[in-house]
């Protein structure tokens, strides 16, 4: 009989791809989500899959999580809430989801004798990094509550490994993109903003001069990283997950095709993100496979997913990011 794996945030962007990867490898998967940010359509294709079971639950509900983890071998804790400005405006909500939810899942895993516990961490813990590619040993300097609460979750995970002997690992993800990424809600990831603008025939709103670069990492590579690390001996440490490259926003506009306009640069945003992935490669053999060009081509194939997404304008972006300038300008 194959392994049983539980994925929190299974109806979310990354969680749904991890569920797919596990099922493809013969796992039975328990998917947990409360649809706070996840979407039923992200797991709709799994409805008839006999190796997939869905549990609607809040990760902060310890009893529900203990029940969901009975008989589970591996846990992939992907659930949480993202975005910068909302975290500045509602830090308690972020603490509840990203910190309290994580400790609830850890305690449920401990109670059930789970063999592996993997955590979805964020490269935002590095803040305005001083070294590129950025290694795991870089100074931690969180710039806003989202980054802080995700790092606090990571510290809890590593602590449960240290104190309780849970076999844990934390994966610090860099700029993940791909199909099923969010199409509605707050102003956020650049791909969703640009694809909706392209569909509407509007210019893409490039922050600053567009020469800033991001370590855009395709979601199937990220799902494969989680699967690979889970099956490896890597434990009780945090590792970077990145593409092995870094790409400018202007290059992204060029690949998407369309007009662009420039809007003011924002405080607290790095000029570059670029993961040093030597540790995960050395420890597990994992390496990203999807090139930036191929990944962007896949996004264009799925562009209709953004047909009903909000079309951001300079004015609405200014309103949505007012808190950013208010609190992060130094």
The residues annotated with a catalytic role in the active site are 146
Residue 3 Cα to chain centre, angstroms: 24
Is residue 324 reached through a cis peptide bond, with omega within 30 degrees of 0 on the bond before it?
no
Phi then psi for 89, rounded to 5 degrees? -85, -25
Cα separation, 15 vs 54, whole angstroms: 13
Exposed (0-12), middle (13-18) or buried (19+): which is 165, by Cβ within 10 Å?
A: exposed
* Contact between 132 and 91 (Cβ < 8 Å): no
- Strands (DSSP E) along the chain, which ranges? 4-8, 28-33, 52-56, 74-77, 116-122, 168-173, 176-177, 204-207, 213-214, 217-218, 238-241, 247-248, 260-263
The Cα 143–Cα 235 span in angstroms is: 27
Residue (of 195, 235, 190) closest to 214 by Cα position: 190
Burial of residue 282 (CB within 10 Å: 0-12, 13-18, 19+) is: exposed
């Amino acid at each position: 009989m194959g392994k049983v794996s539980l994925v929190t945030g299974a109806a979310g962007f990354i969680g749904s791809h991890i569920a797919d990867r596990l099922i493809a490898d013969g796992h039975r998967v328990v998917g947990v989500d409360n649809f706070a940010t996840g979407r039923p359509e992200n797991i709709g294709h799994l409805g008839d899959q006999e190796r997939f079971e869905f549990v609607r639950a809040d990760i902060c509900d310890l009893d529900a999580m203990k029940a969901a983890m009975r008989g589970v071998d591996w846990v992939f804790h992907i659930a949480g809430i993202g975005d910068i400005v909302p975290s500045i405006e509602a830090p308690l909500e972020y603490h509840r989801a990203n910190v309290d939810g994580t400790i609830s899942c850890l305690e449920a895993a401990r109670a059930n004798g789970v063999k592996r516990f993997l955590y979805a961490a964020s490269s935002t813990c590095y803040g305005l990094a001083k070294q590129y590619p950025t290694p795991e040993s870089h100074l931690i300097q969180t710039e806003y509550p989202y980054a802080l609460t995700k790092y606090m979750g990571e510290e809890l995970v590593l602590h449960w490994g240290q104190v309780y002997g849970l076999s844990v690992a934390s994966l610090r993800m860099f700029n993940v993109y791909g199909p099923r990424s969010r199409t509605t809600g707050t102003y956020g990831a650049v791909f969703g903003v640009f694809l909706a603008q392209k569909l509407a025939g509007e210019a893409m709103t490039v922050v600053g001069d567009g020469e800033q670069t991001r370590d855009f990492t395709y979601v199937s590579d990220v799902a494969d990283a989680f699967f690979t690390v889970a099956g490896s001996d890597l434990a009780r440490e945090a590792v970077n997950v990145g593409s092995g490259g870094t790409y400018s926003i202007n290059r992204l506009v060029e690949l998407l095709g369309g007009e662009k306009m420039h809007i003011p640069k924002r405080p607290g945003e790095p000029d570059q993100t670029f993961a040093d992935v030597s540790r995960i490669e050395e420890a597990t053999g994992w390496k990203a496979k999807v090139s930036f060009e191929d990944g962007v081509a896949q996004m264009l194939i799925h562009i209709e997913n953004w047909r009903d997404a909000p079309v951001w304008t300079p004015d609405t972006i200014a309103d949505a990011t007012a808190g950013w300038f208010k609190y992060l300008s130094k």
